[in-house]
Structure 1
Amino acid sequence: MTFTWKTPPWERHEDCTHMAVTLVHTGAGQITFSATSLRGDDATEALADFLMMNPGARATASMPGLVAVVVRRGIDVMWMAQPPIETSLSDSGEWTLAVHGVDEADVTAFSPDQIQDLLTQLLAAYPSA
């Protein structure tokens, strides 16, 4: 992943444009969801805003139970309260996600590896943030 902004999303004075739902496996097949609103022109910028401004997001990025962070364009409080995301675990141990009721172009799911990669890039570029 790369970022090409002139002003990082966390330094912008604008309304939130995206939502992020963090999915964490808590054991016994149970998944917890946590939602937040974010700024950014696209899903990668919104994920960067999440990683740099959300308390605990940096720790979440390396959490062993992290399944994904799903970023959706637009703000919908009902979606944030009960995201229509279905998870399942394959026989090979891979998590699969299905997001219902939204246009696929408006939703991006980031894997733990993608999240960690972006966080590493962000911390190298913005060490004091």
Structure 2
Amino acid sequence: MTFDWKIPPWQRNEDCSHMAVTLTNVGGGQIAVNTESMRGDNATEALADLLMGPGGAGGAVLLPDLIGVVVRRGIDVMWMAQPPIQVAAAGEGEWNIAVDGADEDEVTAFSAQDTRDLLGRLQAAYGAG
């Protein structure tokens, strides 16, 4: 895959424009939520920043219990503190992710497989990060 950015998001010197929420199954019906601010022009670039940036989530993405990552355009401290995300098991290791009150152009949910695939393409293009 060829990335069309001139400078990868994790190498840019700019303010964060997105929020990423990493969802992990910790067992017993509990989901761990970790939020971070990310740079990028769109959801895919923001996810790339999360995966490849300093202290990136690349290692967390390789965990078998990753459910997915939800990326929201814009920074909203209240949303970061308590993201309105519902997660439900869909069987066979699949998960349904829903976000309350979000416009489709504002929030993007990446499955664990989508996230791992992007990490693999980024590492192939740019090295291990």
TM-score by length of 1: 0.92
Deviation at 1:100, TM superposition (A): 0.7
Residue number in structure 2 paired with 1:28: 28
Deviation at 1:78, TM superposition (A): 0.6
Residue number in structure 1 paired with 2:18: 18
Structure 1: distance between partners of 2:49 and 2:93: 30
Residue number in structure 2 paired with 1:101: 101
The correspondence of residues 1-129 of structure 1 with structure 2, limited to 5 A, is 3-55=3-55, 57-127=57-127, 129=129
Structure 2: distance between partners of 1:90 and 1:121: 27
Q: 1:25 to 1:2 in 2, by over 3 A?
A: farther
Query: 2:102 corresponds to which letter in structure 1?
Result: V
Deviation at 1:111, TM superposition (A): 1.0
Secondary structure of 1:104's aligned partner:
coil
Unaligned runs of 5+ in 1: none
User: In terms of mean alpha carbon deviation, does 78-87 or 56-65 score higher?
Assistant: 56-65
Deviation at 1:92, TM superposition (A): 4.9
Deviation at 1:91, TM superposition (A): 4.6
User: In terms of mean alpha carbon deviation, does 69-78 or 114-123 score higher?
Assistant: 114-123
Deviation at 1:3, TM superposition (A): 2.6
Q: 1:48 to 1:56 in 2, by over 3 A?
A: closer
CA RMSD of aligned residues (A): 1.6
Query: 1:5 corresponds to which letter in structure 2?
Result: W
Structure 1: distance between partners of 2:63 and 2:93: 17
Query: 1:71 corresponds to which letter in structure 2?
Result: V
Q: State how many pairs are aligned.
A: 129
Which structure 1 residue ranges, 4+ long, deviate > 6 Å from structure 2?
A: none
What is the percent sequence identity of the aligned residues? 59
Please list the CA deviations of residues 65-103 of structure 1 after superposition, one character each: whole Å capped at 9, or x if unmatched: 100100000000110111000111135552111101221
Unaligned runs of 5+ in 2: none
Structure 1: distance between partners of 2:94 and 2:50: 24
Structure 2: distance between partners of 1:103 and 1:18: 14
User: In terms of mean alpha carbon deviation, does 89-98 or 119-128 score higher?
Assistant: 89-98
